[in-house]
Amino acid sequence: MIDLHLHSRASDGTLSSAELVSLAAARGVRLMSLTDHDCLDGTAEAAAACDAAGIRFLPGVEVSVSWDRKTLHIVGVDIDPQHAGLQAGLTRLQAVRDARALEIGRRLEKHGISGAHAGALALAGEARLTRTHFARFLHQTGHVKDEAQAYRRFLGRGKPGHVSAEWAGLEECIGWIHAAGGQAVLAHPLRYGFTRAWLVKALTAFKQAGGDAMEVVSGRSSPDDVAVSAHLAKRFELLGSVGSDFHAPSPYLQPGVQTPLPDGVQPVWERFRDRN
């Protein structure tokens, strides 16, 4: 079993990378990548844990990209985590995250919710701040009934605590990933809430910018989602990837993707460099 999209406590997952690897190993994962948001902090620990567990590990990252005033997530997999250009780019995105988080806190404050920035920071601990930490704060302080409601009421587009950010450019991000030796994968293409026309526009831009692959099997994709994604991968001549986008243990989603890539979609892992 393969999983090329996983989160740890270095960004908005709830498990340490060692705990994540144990869980993935127990589930039968044989090849995995850790893909935290704009962050490589969990890489060394995950690599060591995979070594010990006998799992093949590929360093990865999920990069936030601004494209046509929308946010896309591009997973870079099989990257060199020491690459200076990639590291500099991610450092810049973390500064954008920190400034955005302060502004989210201010907006929520004006909206009558006090202490959100400090609360999110405390929940994050050593992790890089994400909206997930604000969602957890809003949930734990009783402002919302669950984290999904935090996005619907406060943190989603057009809501009082939403702050748009200038993330990496699409070509810029793919440039970092390629310079670091990796493959650029468009994450969860069906989860942006785009119409079919916008999705085609995004895939066209991604392919033109040098993108290599797209997730064909993602988190909770239905058989229909997989069929639609496989069709798009073939149409845009993109390789196929599989990833759970696992953040936290739940009855609905575990590390490890069971659904195989459909026939006719070339697996992105055939491109991975042989590290042995």
Report if residue 12 touches Mn ion, rule: CB under 5 A. Answer: yes
* Cross-strand bridge partners of residue 60: 77
CA neighbours closer than 13 Å in the CB half-sphere of residue 140: 12
Selected from 2, 8, 32, 73, the binder of Mn ion by CB under 5 A is: 73
Rule CB under 6 A: is residue 12 a binding residue for ligand AMP? yes
Applying CB under 6 A, among 137, 151, 176, 246 the residue interacting with ligand AMP is: 151
Q: Name 31's Cβ contacts closer than 8 Å, sequence gap at least 6.
A: 2, 3, 4, 55, 56, 58, 269
In the complex, least distance from residue 4 CB atom to ligand AMP, rounded to whole angstroms: 15
Cα torsion through 143, 147, 153, 158, rounded to 10: 140
55, 27 Cβ separation under 8 angstroms: no
| Binders of ligand AMP in range 168-227 (CB under 6 A) | none
Residues numbered 233-262 forming contacts with Mn ion, rule: CB under 5 A: 245
Q: Which does residue 133 touch among Mn ion, ligand AMP, none (CB within 5 to 8 A, set by kind)?
A: none
Question: Quick one: how far is CA 181 from the chain centroid?
Answer: 19
By C-beta, is 133 or 272 nearer to ligand AMP?
133
Closest CB 267 distance from Mn ion, rounded Å:
20
For the chain, the C-alpha Rg in angstroms (whole number) is 18
Those residues whose C-beta lies under 8 Å from the C-beta of residue 223, and which sit 6 or more positions away, are: 259
Partner from ligand AMP, Mn ion, none binding residue 212, C-beta < 5-8 Å depending on class: none
CB closer to ligand AMP out of 84 and 148: 148
Closest separation between CB of residue 154 and ligand AMP, Å? 11
